[in-house]
Structure 1
Amino acid sequence: MRKITTYLFLLCTISLWSQKQFQGKAVYQSKTTVDMSSWGAEMSEERKKQIKARMKNFLEKSYTLNFTTKESVYKEEAKLQAPGTRGFRFGGFTGGGIKYKNLQANKALESVEFFGKKFLITDNTEKPKWELGSDTKQIGKYTCFKATLVKKVDAFDWRNMRRRGRGRGKGKKPSDKSKTTKVTEEIEIPKEITVTAWYTPQIPVSNGPGQYWGLPGLILEINEGRTTILCSEVIMNVKDKETKIEAPTKGDEVTREEYNKIVKKKMEEMREMFQRRRGGGRGRGRF
């Protein structure tokens, strides 16, 4: 009963705020951990350290979320690379994409670049089925409440990829094939993961980083598999022209399903090309 009363109060608060004209900005830090231990003795400790160092800029990113009560833009902040270092890229994916959400119009768009080609992805706008909890914690000056969500994992979500059979070993069970998707002979990905969100009713905006929204307050932290997204700063009543909220327009328009098919086809072409080169042949994939 207490949970229901609190929830109704929060919804009323959001309704009152929705009548106000304002814009806010939230800064997030994203960090993804990599489990190198699954490679065991096949890779030296020195080599593991080198790979982790190269991947740091790829695994630790900064984002900004510019939002109103109706719409938002979530964008990666450009990061200068230290002189003499080499960047890391996963396949043909590049960073710097923009995620746009219009909660009033049930519209979600994401601009991405894959192997030098720009795409504009129309995404699912169905409200996430969060389970609200009673746990609380403090993030900065904001009191946050816990919510959880069981999410299907995109087959190309590199953050949740892991080595196949990593559970094998003394006292450990192998991965359950019914709960994982085979990506390659070496790599697999879980079909579902539990996402934990921490949101604050003190900023009654039903929004959050990336694809996440639908809670009675701004989401300040997301724990998703091996990735944590944490808000480090919130600025209200932003008036900077550079933070103007606009939907992206550049790129070939595709649905999320169509985009995944394009990525899958390209990755298969690249794998075949790599195998031919190892065998002495030549090949070149294209869209």
Structure 2
Amino acid sequence: MTTVIRILILVLAAGFTAVNAQDFQGEAIYRTQRKVNIKLDSTKMSGEMQKQMQEMLKKQFQKTFVLNFDKEQSVYKEELSLSTPQPSVGSGMMVQTLGGGSQDILWKNTKEGRFVNQTDLMGKIFLIQDSLPKLDWELKKDTKYIGQYTCYKATLTREIEVVKSGISINGDKDLSEDKTTKETQIITAWYTPEIPVNHGPQKYQGLPGLILEVNDGSQTVICSKIILNPQNPIDIRAPKKGKEINQEDFDVIQEKKREELIESFKGRGRDGESIQIRIGG
């Protein structure tokens, strides 16, 4: 069945001559949404305050990203907007989220099989350069429309390590112990062969069509707008700012920084101090 689907998609893709032009470029706008489910000390925070915090955190993770692409390369970065004040939840308590910064730029070259990721880790810019991981997608026969485009379903199954960090409220109930577990993650993607490039948002790629939607179980990334061959040429180049490093070494540094951060905030939260919450990133 997978072979039949792949042949059908290739036949459909061959019909779109405009996309096959040498100077073909495109721009796709994506919006992100993340499930937020945190446990807080109910003796120090009312149900209404917890509900307000959940809503504020959801808004923190509702972002807009732009993917610029041609036949071989793509650049994915956050669409910059005016900064907003950190949300607060009564009693002077401030909620701050920790994760990727607005300076993050991900460049991929699917023909050469490599990427360059400029990322901000606690105020320090790194330039991660490495090979693109091979994603073992399983093509499905399911279809649906996203906007005007017919999309096909694909799934990716992998084992991941999940670190769950708790939160300490006013130092009275310690929820700050880390728990690391292994989980099976099923990622669902929807791609359209009507735009036959193998790009996608974030670190997803490798399907016979532009990926318009991805869901990893906790986060959904969905395309809201596509512009093909825009009037003004798009500059698609790899970022160059930051300390050069490969992905494996960066992961070690990131884990060390995370442990230091969790340790530094254990027991805090007294007298209206801010609560640091790390989700993803």
Normalising by the smaller structure, the TM-score range is 0.7 to 0.9
Which shifted more, 193-202 or 7-16? 7-16
2:125 is aligned with 1:150: no
Q: Would you tell me which structure has more strand in proportion to its own residues?
A: 2
Which amino acid in 1 is paired with 2:57? Answer: M
Could you say which residue in structure 1 is the equivalent of 2:229? 237
Which one of 205, 213, 222 corresponds to residue 213 of structure 1? Answer: 205
Describe the shift of the 1:254–1:191 C-alpha distance in structure 2 as closer, same or farther (beyond 3 A). farther
Quote how far apart the aligned CAs of 1:45 are: 1.6
2:26 is aligned with 1:24: yes
Identity %: 38
2:9 is aligned with 1:10: yes
Which one of 189, 192, 205 corresponds to residue 200 of structure 1? Answer: 192
Describe the shift of the 1:276–1:56 C-alpha distance in structure 2 as closer, same or farther (beyond 3 A). closer
Describe the shift of the 1:128–1:81 C-alpha distance in structure 2 as closer, same or farther (beyond 3 A). same
RCO higher in 1 or 2 (8 Å CA, sep ≥ 6)? 2
Question: Per-residue CA shift, 1:244-273, capped at 9, x if unaligned?
Answer: 111011101111211111122222333443
Could you say which residue in structure 2 is the equivalent of 1:179? none
CA contact (8 A) 1:29 1:230 kept: yes
CA contact (8 A) 1:58 1:88 kept: no
2:264 is aligned with 1:273: yes
Quote how far apart the aligned CAs of 1:49 are: 2.6
Separation in structure 2 between the aligned mates of residue 34 and residue 130 of structure 1, nearest angstrom: 27
Describe the shift of the 1:214–1:277 C-alpha distance in structure 2 as closer, same or farther (beyond 3 A). closer
Could you say which residue in structure 2 is the equivalent of 1:80? 82
Which amino acid in 1 is paired with 2:70? Answer: T
Which amino acid in 2 is paired with 1:66? Answer: N
Aligned residue-pair number = 252
CA contact (8 A) 2:76 2:201 kept: yes
Q: Would you tell me which structure has more helix in proportion to its own residues?
A: 1
Question: Per-residue CA shift, 1:223-244, capped at 9, x if unaligned?
Answer: 1121001100111002435x31
Quote how far apart the aligned CAs of 1:32 are: 0.2
| Equivalent runs, 1:164-179 vs 2, <5 Å | none
Separation in structure 2 between the aligned mates of residue 91 and residue 31 of structure 1, nearest angstrom: 16
Quote how far apart the aligned CAs of 1:133 are: 0.3
Which one of 219, 234, 254 corresponds to residue 263 of structure 1? Answer: 254
CA contact (8 A) 1:74 1:209 kept: yes
* Structure 1 runs, 4 residues or longer, greater than 6 Å off: none
Separation in structure 1 between the aligned mates of residue 13 and residue 130 of structure 2, nearest angstrom: 24
Describe the shift of the 1:186–1:131 C-alpha distance in structure 2 as closer, same or farther (beyond 3 A). same
Question: Per-residue CA shift, 1:202-223, capped at 9, x if unaligned?
Answer: 1111111111111111111001
- Any idea what SS the aligned residue of 1:120 has? strand
Question: Per-residue CA shift, 1:12-38, capped at 9, x if unaligned?
Answer: 6657755632100110110001124x5
Separation in structure 2 between the aligned mates of residue 218 and residue 47 of structure 1, nearest angstrom: 41
CA contact (8 A) 2:36 2:58 kept: no
- Any idea what SS the aligned residue of 2:97 has? coil
Quote how far apart the aligned CAs of 1:137 are: 0.8
Which one of 61, 67, 70 corresponds to residue 68 of structure 1? Answer: 70
Which one of 103, 110, 115 corresponds to residue 110 of structure 2? Answer: 103
Question: Per-residue CA shift, 1:51-107, capped at 9, x if unaligned?
Answer: 234324421010111011100001111132456856964347533311110011111
- Any idea what SS the aligned residue of 1:266 has? helix
CA RMSD of aligned residues (A): 3.0
TM-score of the pair, normalised by structure 1: 0.76
Structure 2: tracts of 5 or more residues without a match: 89-93, 168-175, 270-281
Could you say which residue in structure 2 is the equivalent of 1:167? none
Separation in structure 1 between the aligned mates of residue 230 and residue 249 of structure 2, nearest angstrom: 36
- Any idea what SS the aligned residue of 1:90 has? strand
Which one of 111, 122, 131 corresponds to residue 129 of structure 2? Answer: 122
Which amino acid in 1 is paired with 2:125? Answer: K
Which amino acid in 2 is paired with 1:69? Answer: K
- Any idea what SS the aligned residue of 1:205 has? coil
Describe the shift of the 1:216–1:76 C-alpha distance in structure 2 as closer, same or farther (beyond 3 A). same
Which shifted more, 74-83 or 58-67? 74-83
Quote how far apart the aligned CAs of 1:5 are: 3.4
Could you say which residue in structure 2 is the equivalent of 1:59? 61
